[in-house]
Amino acid sequence: MNIKITGGRLYDPAQGLDGVQQDLFIKGDRIVSSLQKPDRVISAAGRVVVPGGIDLRGQVATYGLNFLRLWNGFPSLEDLGRLYAAAGYTHVHEPFLTLYTAGYVHRQLAAIPLVDTSASLVLNLRDLDNYLKSLDQLEEVAQTLKSLQEKTRSLDFRLLEPFVRYRQSFYSHRTLDTAKTLEALTRLAREFDLRFTLEASPEVLELPCPEPRAFHLAVLGRAVTDDRLLELALARLAEGVSADLGFESPIAATPLDGKPVKIDLGGYYPLDLNPAAGDLLPALRLALAHQGPGLAFSLGGPVRNPLKEFPPLFSWLCDRRARPLVDAQALPDREFSLMDWVWATRTLPAKILGLGDRGHLAPGARADVALFELPPEIPPASWAKYFGQCHTLLKAGETVIENYELVAPKTPKATYYRRRGAKEGPLLSEICQYRSIRPENLWVPEELGRAWVGLD
């Protein structure tokens, strides 16, 4: 269908469109520069027109996350898809997929309707310890990582533990500290065109980062627990590292009363799905202190309800009067503009995930467009109310939400992964030999997902 969106104020940092009143044309699933005869005209008068949202760290399908539904705090996967679409999102990226939970994660992602999905492959460096130590077979390591990425159908690499430690003292000779690990990862990135997402920690911030563009720091807000660490984080961002904020959820946690919910993914520490409630201010302070282009928006924990969790955070970013009063004076005196918001929730996440045709409204981009009712006279203090729910959402040119109603519940969706075409080497066999599942069943087959899209 050919669509003309008329009368809206376009916000697109990639093109420098800062509330420019301009028509937007869609032909099929793509944005085009002009259109002779539109089949449909959508009036966007009084509305802002932005690219579809991309959740860079939407923890929605992690192995074991399903258990949290026991405590009634989580929507079903069906509802999650609807909530994301209602919030103006078209893509969700799951952060935790491991070698043997890949099938699980993809089956969960496939059950989330409406939004496209992708996932990060969490590397367990115990699989590579001797190789990273010696540094003389890095090509083999790189090939293996690329091969694993394609076979698990993941989009990028993530490290929860940028070190190698063993619970059993017998294996202590194989440990690798964070500095040495980062050195090996830097060489891998430099020499073999790889990029790694590191879950940020004070320890990671303390170390130098010789190759900033090789790393993305996830959940940076959680690591910035004092002024010195904030300075270090800002320095990393100034060097060119990208990061996401990792806000604590602003809504009350599920009624778990501090009960442990831990999932052992085979690392040194288990994944804690019910961490003690953290402080919202470090991430907010970081977001406001950083003036550059390196910070994307994200939540640090499992996403329960984007419609309720995201808008308060957006309004705190955009209006100082909306911010939590405690320690609010200590926050930098800055407010996000709509351009900053679009950059942090759309443009930068698309860049980080390598989704070149998303996150902007330039001709050739996929027609993922969200319209929010936001008359120009509305002050930022009230934006949360307006950002909460999008008026209209188009995904690949198809209208998904219209006048706040879901009109196309069966909108096609896909899961994106990186195609690498890497060769299988002996290291891959070595990694597989420790598994209880044969390699052919370890790799994610077509049937466990839905509409795969391989990116080259």
Partner 1 sequence: MQETVQVEQQSLICTGCGCLCDDLDVTLAQGQLQEVANVCLWGLSRFFPTKRLHPKKERHRLLEPLSRLNGRLQEVPYTTALEQAAQILGQARRPLIYGLTNTGSWAQEAALQLARKIKARLEPADLAFKAPYYHSLRKHGLYWAPLEVIRDEADTVLFWGANPLHTCPRHLVRYSVFARGRYTERGVEDRQVAAVDLYQTEMAKFCQLLVQIEPGQELSLLQGIGAHLPGGSGVKPAVKGARKLAKFLSQAEFGVIFFGRGATYNQGLAVLDALGGLAARLGEKQTWALFPLSGDFNSQGLYHLLLNELGAPEAPDFGHEGGVLTSSTPVDFHEFDAILVLGADLFWFLPEDQALALQKRQVPVVSMSPFANRTTSCAQVVLPTALAGLEAAEVAYRMDGLPLVLKKLLPTALPADRDILLDLIQAM
CA dist., res. 192 & res. 19, Å (int): 40
Measured from the CB atom, is 100 or 192 closer to partner 1? Answer: 100
Give the interface size with partner 1 as a residue count (CB under 8 A): 45
Q: For partner 1, which residue of 34, 36, 72, 403 counts as binding (CB under 8 A)? A: 72
Beta-bridge partner residues of 208: none
With the CA atoms of 399, 401, 407 and 412 taken in that order, what torsion angle do they form, in degrees rounded to the nearest 10? 60
Site string for partner 1, 281-320 (x = CB under 8 A): ----------------------------------------
Beta-bridge partner residues of 439: none
Stretch that binds partner 1, among 64-72, 86-94, 335-343, 380-388 (CB under 8 A): 64-72
Residues 235-274 that bind partner 1 (CB under 8 A): 256, 259-266, 270, 274
74 counts as binding partner 1 under rule CB under 8 A:
yes
Q: For partner 1, which residue of 20, 41, 45, 70 counts as binding (CB under 8 A)? A: 70
Stretch that binds partner 1, among 145-153, 242-250, 275-283, 441-449 (CB under 8 A): 441-449
Measured from the CB atom, is 192 or 452 closer to partner 1? Answer: 452
84 counts as binding partner 1 under rule CB under 8 A:
no
At closest approach, how far in Å is the CB of 103 from partner 1?
5
- DSSP assignment, residue 302? B
Contacts of 452 (CB under 8 A, 6+ apart): 153, 414, 415, 417, 446
Question: DSSP for 161-175?
Answer: -SSB--SSGGGGGG-
Q: Which helix (H) or strand (E) holds 150?
A: helix 138-151
Q: Which two three-digit tokens encode residue 350? A: 């698309």
Q: For partner 1, which residue of 291, 447, 453, 454 counts as binding (CB under 8 A)? A: 447
CA dist., res. 68 & res. 218, Å (int): 23
At closest approach, how far in Å is the CB of 332 from partner 1?
38
Question: DSSP for 56-79?
Answer: TT-B-S-TTGGGGGGGT----HHH
CA dist., res. 208 & res. 274, Å (int): 31
At closest approach, how far in Å is the CB of 265 from partner 1?
7
107 counts as binding partner 1 under rule CB under 8 A:
yes
Q: For partner 1, which residue of 25, 63, 163, 297 counts as binding (CB under 8 A)? A: 63
How far lies 353's CA from each of 18, 158, 213, 341, in Å? 24, 12, 13, 18
At closest approach, how far in Å is the CB of 141 from partner 1?
19
At closest approach, how far in Å is the CB of 106 from partner 1?
9
Q: For partner 1, which residue of 37, 173, 410, 438 counts as binding (CB under 8 A)? A: 438
Q: Which helix (H) or strand (E) holds 248?
A: none
- DSSP assignment, residue 253? P
Residues that bind partner 1 (CB under 8 A): 63-64, 66-67, 69-72, 74, 76-78, 100-101, 103-104, 107-108, 111, 166-168, 170-171, 256, 259-266, 270, 274, 434-438, 440-441, 445, 447-448
